[in-house]
Amino acid sequence: MQKSVYKRNSGVFKIFNSEKPEQNTYIKLAISAITIIVISLFLPSFKDADLDVEVGTIWSSEDLIAPFTFPVYKSDAELETEINEIKNNIIPVFTVTENNSATTSDSVKLFFRDLYSEFRKYSEDRKNNREAEFPSAYFDEKYALELSGESWNYLFGYYSGYVRDSSKKEYTDFIDIIQRSVNQYIKLPIIDTDKAGLKSGKIAYKKKEEKIQRIENAENIVSVAELRDKFNTDIRKSISDPRLVETANMLFSALVKPNLILDEELTELELQSRIDILPKTIGIVKENERIISKHDPITILTKQKLESYKKVRLEQFGVQDFMGQYMGRVLTIFVILSVSGLYLFYLRNDIFKDNLKLALISSLIILVSFFSFVSMQLKVNAPVELLIFISVASILLTIIFDARISFFVVVIITFLIGAIRGGDYAISLISFGGSVLAIFSVRDIKNRTQIFRSFYFILAGYSISILAIGLDRSQNISDIFINLAYGGINSVMSPVIAYGLLIFYERAFQITTDITLVELTDFNQPLLRELSSKAPGTFHHSVIMGNLAEEAATAIGANRILARVGCYYHDIGKIAKPDYFVENQMERKNKHESLNPNLSTKIIIAHVKEGIELARKHKLPPEVIDFIPMHHGTTLVSFFYRKAQETADENKEDIFDYIYRYPGPKPQTKETAIAMLADTVEASTKAIEDPTAKKLEDKIDEIIKKRFIEGELDECELTLRDLSKIKRSFLKILVGIFHQRIKYPEEIKKDE
């Protein structure tokens, strides 16, 4: 019955049961699967393995022997150059239109005769008041003219007899020039495109009666645009009237048409046929022939052989090769990550159980792997691989967890980087050097600004590693200096990125770092200031309790900062009604004297709920909020329970003890268990008259045994050895506090 009451009355208790989702095994498997699959996608595939070798480097693997005969293909750049050359030299194909010169000359005469006839007809109809339509629409449709209205009126003036003889003479010259020009130009090969587009300087065409295609040089042909420009120049020499010049140009454009039309389909067909017969290979590698020997330099020809070998193998094995390759990549990542999983399971089980922490580590591994993948895709002449910010991961892991976890994960990440970059383990070594020194620079960090001091350590690690690799490979001094510059950029950017990401990870993954905890120990924090002003007795009690808890946590290897901070905030709920707690009453009257024990108990227990609400309002970390209910556990408010029994008029058995117990939960961590013991020890030892070391030790021993027997420590991981260490650490602090009141052995003997 008692157990069910605690579950019903405490929503906090449900968070700490064994079925919480952050420990769900299926979620762990999902995190592992996602990590393996995503990182395996970053690994270089067989198809992209040509990125593994560069011209000028040395082949470090064993001799590569061709398992089958295959052609050596030209490189893409070489093929593209040859194709562009073909495009520039291709001779465009034109189609000949039947354009008889006599017919065309007659057509010019017929046009002007027709023009005269239509204008005369229009004038006669106008004179006889008959309905008549101006002939412009008729000519625009028949001859595809596009004359302006002013030009039509001008022509109408010549044919209707409204102009002088001198003007008619100019018009006669106008007709003669047009006819002469048309008769002259229609004999030329006229193309319908701009000659500037003839890159080869030639064209090809074939008349119907001919079997062989003609090739004509560009200087022997003319474009329509050229003819129009030439005609415009000629007409302006003979005709002064600008309206007549404009009309002449329009008529010439309508009468003179190209007789060679570009056939884009035939030209493209010709281009494609030329490309199709272009040789795609430059040689052949026979079966069992050595492609490259170990320690040989990679030449252009060797690189082409390697690329051709990979291309042919991919074509031969197809999907089967791809699936086997992908499974191999997955197994590679599985092996690397399995090592980290076993490490966490056996040596850091607290992290292994927490899915949020596993997801955090996974996200950092994926993030750095992504940077490594991007560095492979960037085709720039710069050492961008030195901008893979592994140091960011090492800084974050050290602050969030500790140096050991950070070191181990960094080792895993460096292996992954080497694999993703196709065996480039030089960058792995360089990154490892900078990241390890970054771990040492932030392992004892106390505030956020100290992150930036890691700059010097990262710079030293990268510089030494870059120099070591550069000298070993006999690199040019200029290349080494460029690498050092990029290492310096990494050193500057890593602390900045880590500073920003730390805030994100704290909020997104609900992580409370030691930096956050240290910030909460500042007595200028709003909650602590309010506690010290409204409940000074409780504040003083919390500070002494924090000293006890920190010493005990250090002794057993628990988080000493969390233990201290938890004690500082464990009783903030007393701010609401400080006068109802004895440490704040001083010499004032005890308010509980006028209340019945049941009501007093409710007021006392209520400070837990009020404390949780106040902590959440001020956004305290969940780990700190846990101290508020857990430091009481399910203990009995014994004073008011006994008082209720003493004041009961009838059967005392009707007074149930669960009504006078805190709702729990019991301490779930070592730190909250230490806080429970420190709370009781600090309060109880103050009541000892003439305290001696022996009296203090007996009291501490009594309290620890009592909590142990009551089962309040059953749900945390404290061992009997831990309890013994906690007892000694408590005694050490309390002897220091009460040393002025403790008599020396000589004085004790004298009194006796």
Q: Using one digit for the tens of pLDDT, what is the confidence trace for 60-72?
A: 667 778 878 888 8
**Residue-range domains of the chain with CATH:** 93-270 (no CATH), 516-751 (1.10.3210)
Q: CA-CA distance, 185 to 258, in Å (whole number)?
A: 10
Instruction: Give the bridge partners for 73, in sequence order.
Output: 281
Assign residue 398 a region (left: φ > 0; alpha: ψ between -120 and 50; beta: otherwise).
alpha
Q: CA-CA distance, 31 to 26, in Å (whole number)?
A: 9
- Please name the amino acid found at residue 242: P
- Residue 221 has a CB neighbour count (10 Å cut-off) of 19
Sequence-distant (6+) residues with CB within 8 A of 45 are 322, 325, 326, 329
Average pLDDT (425-448) is 87
Sequence-distant (6+) residues with CB within 8 A of 589 are none
Burial letters 564-598, b for 16+ CB under 10 A, else e: bbbbbbbbbbbbbbbbbbebbeeeeeeebeeeebe
Q: Which of 59, 630, 605 is nearest to 298 (CA)?
A: 59
pLDDT at residue 53 tops 80: no
**DSSP structure class, residue 742:** S
The answer to whether the CB of 703 falls within 8 A of the CB of 552 is no
- Residue 122 has a CB neighbour count (10 Å cut-off) of 19
pLDDT at residue 77 tops 90: no
* pLDDT score of 706: 92
Sequence-distant (6+) residues with CB within 8 A of 607 are 571, 573, 574, 576, 577, 581
* pLDDT score of 492: 93
pLDDT at residue 282 tops 50: yes
User: Highest mean pLDDT range out of 76-85, 269-278, 391-400?
Assistant: 391-400
pLDDT at residue 100 tops 60: no
pLDDT at residue 142 tops 50: yes
Q: Which of 713, 607, 634 is nearest to 5 (CA)?
A: 634
Structure tokens at 328: 């191999």
* pLDDT score of 744: 47
Q: Which carries the bigger pLDDT value, residue 435 or residue 584?
A: 435
Q: CA-CA distance, 150 to 154, in Å (whole number)?
A: 6
* pLDDT score of 18: 40
- Please name the amino acid found at residue 56: G
pLDDT at residue 741 tops 80: no
- Please name the amino acid found at residue 62: E
Q: What is the pLDDT of residues 148-207, one digit of tens each?
A: 666 776 666 666 654 445 556 666 777 777 778 777 777 778 888 877 777 777 888 777
Burial letters 425-437, b for 16+ CB under 10 A, else e: ebbbebbbbbbbb
Q: What is the pLDDT of residues 8-32, one digit of tens each?
A: 333 333 333 344 566 788 899 999 9
Structure tokens at 430: 């360089």
* pLDDT score of 52: 55
* pLDDT score of 510: 79
Q: What is the pLDDT of residues 328-381, one digit of tens each?
A: 778 888 888 898 889 999 988 888 988 889 999 999 999 999 999 998 888 777
* pLDDT score of 10: 36
- Please name the amino acid found at residue 307: E
Q: pLDDT confidence of 671, banded at 50, 70, 90? A: very high
Indicate the helix (H) or strand (E) that contains 618: none
> According to DSSP H, which parts of 144-208 are helical?
149-159, 165-185
The answer to whether the CB of 386 falls within 8 A of the CB of 486 is yes
* pLDDT score of 4: 31
Burial letters 265-281, b for 16+ CB under 10 A, else e: eebeebbeeeeeeeeee
Average pLDDT (487-508) is 91
Residue positions counted in the chain:
752
- Residue 306 has a CB neighbour count (10 Å cut-off) of 20
* pLDDT score of 506: 86
Is there a cis peptide before residue 495, judged by omega within 30 degrees of 0? no
> Helices then strands (H, E): number in the chain?
31, 10
Tell me what the pLDDT averaged over the chain comes to: 81
* pLDDT score of 719: 92
- Residue 513 has a CB neighbour count (10 Å cut-off) of 20
3-state secondary structure of 124: helix
Q: CA-CA distance, 510 to 162, in Å (whole number)?
A: 99
Q: Which carries the bigger pLDDT value, residue 651 or residue 368?
A: 368
Question: Among 132-141, 367-376, 398-407, 713-722, which stretch is predicted with the lowest mean pLDDT?
Answer: 132-141
pLDDT at residue 745 tops 60: no
The answer to whether the CB of 93 falls within 8 A of the CB of 205 is yes
> According to DSSP H, which parts of 509-559 are helical?
514-520, 526-534, 536-556
Q: CA-CA distance, 510 to 671, in Å (whole number)?
A: 18
* pLDDT score of 747: 53
- Residue 107 has a CB neighbour count (10 Å cut-off) of 15
